[in-house]
Amino acid sequence: MMGDAVEQAGSDVIINLKIVPGSSKTAISGLLDGRLKIKIAAPPEKGKANECLIDFLAGRLGVKKNDLSVISGQTSPVKQVRACCVTVEKVRQKLGL
């Protein structure tokens, strides 16, 4: 039931992601099945990949880490991140969509 990699959800924005942990560097890797694919340098253990993802997204979006939260897929490569204090347009622009 997903239409886009970035969706409005009330006053927040939901970013639909496919994560590839354990990569050589953290970077956006395009779109895959309607999700933003991000390679993460951290390993998928003890929340390290999620922490690295939040750090990366906060830097790209210019928001505080506390403005972002993983709302689904805590232990899965398919995740949803909720972002507050940003617009869909800003998220798309900052992530190159």
- The structural domains of the chain, with segments of one domain joined by +, span 6-94
Asked if pLDDT for residue 2 goes beyond 50, the answer is no
pLDDT digits (tens, 9 = 90+) for 54-83: 999 999 999 999 999 999 999 999 999 999
The helix/strand/coil state of 63 is: coil
Separation between Cα atoms, residue 85 and residue 74, nearest integer Å = 22
Distance CA 40, CA 67 (A): 20
Residue 3 has pLDDT above 90, yes or no: no
Percent of the chain whose pLDDT exceeds 70: 97
| CATH of 6-94 among 3.30.1440.10, 3.30.1200.10, 3.40.640.10, 1.10.3720.10 | 3.30.1200.10
